[in-house]
Amino acid sequence: MKVIIELTAKEATDAMETGVLALLLNNEAYSETAIGNPKEEKETAPEPSQTASPKPATSVATTTPTYTMDEIAKACAPLMDKGLTAQLQSLVQSFGVASLADLAKEHYGAFVLKLRELGAAI
């Protein structure tokens, strides 16, 4: 089984701090080293054999969300209003295309992640 999770740095940090990522991975050794509170977790977390199916407190998407060109274009507008047009043009060109309309659908997810780094709300 292969699971791919794309997270921003903040989302990854939050997932590790709350233990959601460790629960998803269901790996106690990982949770003890990455989360940092092994004694607290062992005292408060139920043993796997005590629950029918452990559920994380927060759901974590295991699939990449899909975006439309319209959603991406709308997310770019506020960045342009903030004067980031040159950065947006460089970002588009970094994907090997001359304009946003030429961006291949398989690159939408990666492009959105880069937009978020620039401050886009998408």
In this structure, are 36 and 17 located in the same domain? yes
In this structure, are 39 and 78 located in the same domain? no
What's the domain range around 103? Answer: 69-118
Q: Which of 48, 63, 78 is the last residue of a domain?
A: 63
Spatial separation of the C-alpha atoms in residues 48 and 100, rounded to whole Å = 48
Condensed to tens digits (0 to 9), the pLDDT of residues 73-103 reads 999 999 999 999 999 999 999 999 999 999 9
Averaged pLDDT of the chain: 76
Tracing tokens 């005590």 back to the chain, one arrives at: 50
Spatial separation of the C-alpha atoms in residues 63 and 13, rounded to whole Å = 19
Band (27; pLDDT cuts 50, 70, 90): very low
- What's the angle, vertex CA 75, arms to CA 117 and CA 98, rounded to 5? 85
Q: Which of 63, 89, 108 is the last residue of a domain?
A: 63
In this structure, are 37 and 79 located in the same domain? no
In this structure, are 55 and 7 located in the same domain? yes
What percentage of the chain reaches a pLDDT higher than 70? 55
In this structure, are 8 and 56 located in the same domain? yes
Spatial separation of the C-alpha atoms in residues 69 and 63, rounded to whole Å = 19
Cβ-in-10-Å burial (0-12, 13-18, 19+) of 120 comes to buried
Condensed to tens digits (0 to 9), the pLDDT of residues 29-44 reads 444 444 444 444 445 5
Band (24; pLDDT cuts 50, 70, 90): low
In this structure, are 88 and 58 located in the same domain? no
Q: Which of 21, 47, 63 is the last residue of a domain?
A: 63
Higher pLDDT, 72 or 22: 72
In this structure, are 51 and 78 located in the same domain? no
pLDDT at residue 63 in the model: 75
